[in-house]
Amino acid sequence: MLRLLQIEFIKLWNNRASKVLIISYFVLLTSIALIAAIKFDIGPVQFHLADQGIFNFPYIWHFNTFVTALFKLFLAIVIVSMMSNEYSNKTIKQNLIDGLSKKEFILSKVLTVISFALISTIFVFVVSMILGLVYSDYNEVSIIFSDMEFLPAFFLKLVGFFSFCLFLGILVKRSAFALGFLILWTILEQVVFGLLGWKVMSWESAKALKRFFPLESMSNLIKEPFTRLSAVQNIGEQIGENMKFDYHVYWYEFLIVIVWTAIFIYLSYVLLKKRDL
C-alpha cells in the first residue's frame, strides 16, 4: 500500500500544475490565520475580527472546518487532472503492463484521496489549535476538546467529495469536462429539489429527500457557523428573528456520505475494469 501511495505522490510532484495547486491549497489553509489580523478603525468605531469570538473554543472547530472546506476545489482539480493525465500520458496503460492490476490502480487513487483528506484534517487541527490557544477566551481542557465532531466530519466531507471527483475523472477522462460535469451536477441537485418541491411533493418532504443527494449530503456534514456568533444572534433578536439552529453532526449524516463514497469508489472500479485501455 505504501508503494502504491509513493508512486502516486511521485507522479503528482513531477507534475508542475499539480504541485502548484497542492502548495496553493495548503497556503490558503494557513491563510485563515490572517483573519485574526483584520481590523477596522473608523473614527471612534474599532472593529477587530478576532475579538468577535470566531477563534473561541469550541466554536473555532466549527468555523475553521467550514471555511477551509471551501478551498477543496483546489485538490478536486488535482484529483481530476490526475486521472486525465493517466489517460493522456498513457501511464495507466504502462502501469498495467508493468504488472499493476486495475484493483491496485484504483486502490492507489483511493489512498491518495484519503491521504489528502487526512493531511488537510491534521493541518486544520494544528492551525485551529494554535489560533484558539492565542485568541480564545476559554482555555479549559474540557471546552477546548468539545465539538470535535467537526474534524471527522471535515475528513469525511473531503473523502466523499474527492471520491466523487475521482469517479468523474475516470468517467469523463478529460479534466475540463469532468469539472464542468461537477458544476452541472451541483446545479442539477438544486433543480431536482426545486421540481420536487414545486410539482411532486411538499417542500418539507423535498428538503428531507434533498439530504440524500450526494453533494448536498456532504455539505450537510458541516452546516454554516455564522449564525452561532453572538453578534449575529443579537442582531437577530433585535429584528425579531429566531437565530437558534441545530448545528450538530448526526450519525446518519455520516452514514449517508459513507454510502455515497463507497458507491463512487465501486463505480470507479467497475468503469475501469470494463474499459478497454
The fraction of the chain above a pLDDT of 90, given in percent, is: 42
pLDDT at 277: 60
pLDDT at 214: 96
Q: What is the dihedral of CA 218, 224, 228, 231, to 10 degrees?
A: 170
Chain segment 44-65, per-residue pLDDT in tens: 555 566 666 788 899 999 999 9
> pLDDT tens digit string along 189-199?
999 999 999 88
Q: Is the model's pLDDT at 147 over the cut of 90?
A: no
Q: pLDDT category, 38, cuts 50, 70, 90?
A: low
Q: Which of 109-118, 154-163, 231-240 is the least confident region? A: 231-240
Mean pLDDT of 221-235: 79
Residue 103 sits at φ, ψ, to 5 deg, of -65, -45
| Per-residue model confidence as pLDDT tens digits over 11-28 | 888 888 888 888 888 888
The secondary structure element, H or E, covering residue 39 is strand 39-42
The residue ranking higher by pLDDT, 69 or 101, is: 69
* pLDDT of 245 over the 80 cut: no
Higher pLDDT among residues 162 and 40, named by residue: 162
pLDDT, position 105: 87
Q: How confident is the model over 81-128, as pLDDT tens digits?
A: 888 888 777 777 777 777 778 888 899 899 999 999 999 999 999 999
Give the separation between CA 88 and CA 217, rounded to whole angstroms.
Answer: 33
Read off the pLDDT of each residue in 151-175 and give the average, rounded to a whole number. Answer: 93
- Which of residues 59 and 5 earns the better pLDDT score? 59
- Pairwise CA distance, residues 14 & 65, whole Å: 30
Cα–Cα distance, 88 to 169 (Å, whole number): 12
Residues 245-269 have a mean pLDDT of 94
Cβ 59 vs Cβ 145: under 8 Å: no
Would you say how long the chain is, in residues? 277
Going from N- to C-terminal start, the domains of the chain cover: 2-274
pLDDT at 104: 87
- Predicted confidence at residue 189, as pLDDT, reads 94
Most confident of 31-40, 161-170, 231-240: 161-170
Do residues 275 and 171 touch, judged by C-beta distance below 8 A?
Answer: no
Q: Which of 155, 152, 2, 165 is nearest to 74 (CA)?
A: 165
Grid look-up 443527494 returns 213
Q: According to the model, what pLDDT value does residue 87 have? A: 79
CA 124 from centre of chain: 12
Question: Is residue 124 a contact partner of residue 65, using CB atoms and an 8 Å limit?
Answer: yes
Residue 45 bridge partners (DSSP) = 42
